[in-house]
Structure formats: structure tokens, C-alpha cells
Structure 1
Amino acid sequence: MSDRSAALQVSGVCASYGPVQVLFGVDLCVEEGEMVALLGPNGVGKSTTLRVIGGLLSADRGSVHLGGADATSWTPRKRVEAGLSQVVGQSAFGSLTVVENLTMHGYAAADRRWVREAVEAALMIFPRLNARRNQPAATLSGGERQMLALAKAIVNDPRLLVIDEFSLGLAPVVVGGLMELVRRLNERGTSVLLVEQSVNVALSLVHRAYVMEKGEIIAEESAAVLAADPDRVRGLMLGGHVAEAG
């Protein structure tokens, strides 16, 4: 780990849904300018971790720091104001146009003129969306709706972009284009935390990866090292602690 400040630091986080504990001491870090993946099969706690990071679920124990500040007790809105943006699925207001959806996402900004400028800047990054700027979101393709989800996130000029399963249900050629857009956002200075079931997609995009099993982080490694050892990756995804012990 370098000595750069962290865009995100999750330390010892435990979380529950009612009486059922789901997270057991989760530790992970995304440094400034870094892209990190959180990997693991369905049901191991990845999305719950994102809910805690976003302030949608309170941690039972542990802390969440954003840009060095303790955000554990912050509201979701305050976390957005501090530079956190999350992309979850292809959510959009179907009856609103592309521009209207983007404008709605700038709700946290105090300066409405800045929001208009941010919307136009986001559309410059996504030419296909710009060409459909006045179309209702319901008429967009799956790939275009995912672009809209990414564009909405960057309207707030995020310091940290959190993406949950952005390749789900999309054709490989569309996923490739989205990956390139995420790389460009990262080059502009945005740190990225990616939750992704496709290991190949994740490891070809990020710098470092965590693997989760049953609410715990069981491995942390550079993406290059994991990509060069597919047998280990397969074991981690299927066998978890057993694979690491072996």
C-alpha cells in the first residue's frame, strides 16, 4: 500500500438486517486515484457493504472514512456532498428525458448554474447519450441506460465512484465501451470501487481486488497477480477459505 491518502477506508465494519448479521469485520481501502474491485458470488455481502458505504444501512460496529473524514454517522446526502457517487443498476426515471434525468441527479448542488454546466460536461463524455438527450429514458437500450447511470453519477464530479454490477445483462461489446468510459473517469482523478460478478471484466479494469465470502474479506491482491493465476481465482470464488488454506 502506498502512502497516498485514501478516498475510502472501511474498517472493521459489522452490519445486520434485524437479528441476522451479514458483515463480519470488513476492512477495505480505495486510495486516491485507484480502481479497486470487490469480488465474490451472490449473497456474500458485497451489496450490503455498498449500502453501509453509502449510508443506507448503519454499521453495528466499525467505521467508514471518506477522504480521511469519519463519515460513519453521516447521512447519504452528506456523503454525496463529500464526493461519493454510486451507480446501482440501470435506474432512471423512464418518463423523463436524458437531460432531465441528469439534472435531477444534481439535486445536492447549491448552484443550479453549475448543475447545467455539469450536465453538458457529462454529455460530452457520452456522445451516444448526447445524441439522445431529449429522448425519454424508457426508450434507451440497456447499454445506453447504463451510460445514463454513469453519467448521472459524474454530474456531481465524484471523488469516489462506486459501481454495483455494471456489466449485468449487457453484451460484451457494450461492456467494453463502458469499461473504457470508467477508465477515462479514473484518468480524470475519480477513484473507483467496482462490485462485479464477472471476474474477467473486473480484473481487466482495476488495479487491486478484494474477495469476499460470507460477510468477510478473505483475500486481497493486485489485479495483475490474480489475473495470472486463474486456478487461485476459481478456488477463491468457489471455495474461499479452503482455497487460501490450500
Structure 2
Amino acid sequence: MSRRTPPDSPFLFETIEGPDFSFELAGRRDGLWPVAGTDEAGRGPLAGPVVAAAVILDPDNIPEGLNDSKQLSIARREVLFEIILSSAIVSIASSAAGRIDGTDIRKASLDAMRRAVLGLSLRPALVLADGRDVPPGLACPGKAVVKGDARSFSIAAASIVAKVARDRMMTRADLVFPAYGFAVHAGYATKRHRNAIGSHGPCPLHRMSFRPLRQDGVETPEEELPA
């Protein structure tokens, strides 16, 4: 089972100015080095995988401008994606729609994060995971960091890698299933996407456990609509 930790300093969330390297340096002071950050992208869409990344940053070569991927423009994410891949140790893993439907989105997300961490070429001594859960099955200690992509450079880097990797996957998926517009909305429940499902029915990339695809009409707890 995943380990859930209580929020650390929740009263600070309204005053977060951006991520830094303090969580990583604290681990280093405790003798836990290297430190990896992990995050995922794509919990909310109706179609496509949930993608996770794990990143070990070089403390002497941290890319400038790291932040929660949602706070960055598409162009800036793309630039940082390439910089991170060239300057850090990176691993990417995903859970497809079938795995999501066979378990649930939370478990599928945590499993993708676990596999991303295990795929790193350098074994971390500590993993910082975005959210309230530490992925189960890690080979080292883990710490859950609420709003971690806005607080930790390593998690922010992982959020950027996961987001760009998933967006690229969905752009390629658009070539295979052009009727749905995946390159535009990345599988989220936009009006265009819902209309396409109504006209063409679901494709193999759709998450059949998500409303409105789920036959019993019950909304899954982790479902999210785009802002």
C-alpha cells in the first residue's frame, strides 16, 4: 500500500513563491543522496496514459526557471524539457488506459511513478513525490510533498518532463485516431472531445472507467475536468 503523510506546513501554501532545492539539501544533510523528484501528468483526461517522470538534478547545474509545469507556457516547457534531459538523470514511465481501468487512476499514477524511479540509471537514496502519497515499492525512503511541483526543483523538473512527454504522446496518438483531436486537448474532456466521442464512440485510448464513458454513469473520485 502507498504511504500517506500529513501536509508539511500547509499554512505556507498561500505564500509559495516558487520551488527551491531545500528539500533535496535537507536529504543530503541527513546522509540521503542522491535525491530524486517524481511527478505525473494526465490524471484527469478521458483518454491516454498517465505519465510519470523521475529526475535527479545535478546540484551544480540546475536549470533556470524550473517551476510547476502548469505555470509555464508550452514553449517554455519544451525548452526546459530539453535542458533537463541534457543536464539531469531522467526516467519516464506510463500507465495506459487499460491499467487505469483495471485498478484506478490513483493506483495507476503511483505505479507509473514507482516504475519511473526504478528506471533511473542512478539509484536514489531519497525520493520526493508530489502529493500526499509515497509510491509503494520504492527501493529507498520516500517523502510526499504536497504541492511539491511548486516547492521542489526536482519535483518541478519531473512535472515538466512528464507533461511534455505526455503531450507528445497525445500528438502522436492524433495521427492514429484523428477524429478526436488529441493533439489539441491531449485527451481532456473538452466540448470538442466529448462531441467526438458522441459521434464516433470511444477508441482504445479511452478510459472506460471515467464518466461519461463509464456505463453506470458513476464519476470516479480522481476525475478532473480542465480549467
Q: Normalization by structure 1: what TM-score?
A: 0.27
Q: Normalization by structure 2: what TM-score?
A: 0.28
Structure with the higher strand share, 1 or 2: 1
Select the structure with the greater relative contact order (CA < 8 A; seq sep ≥ 6): 2
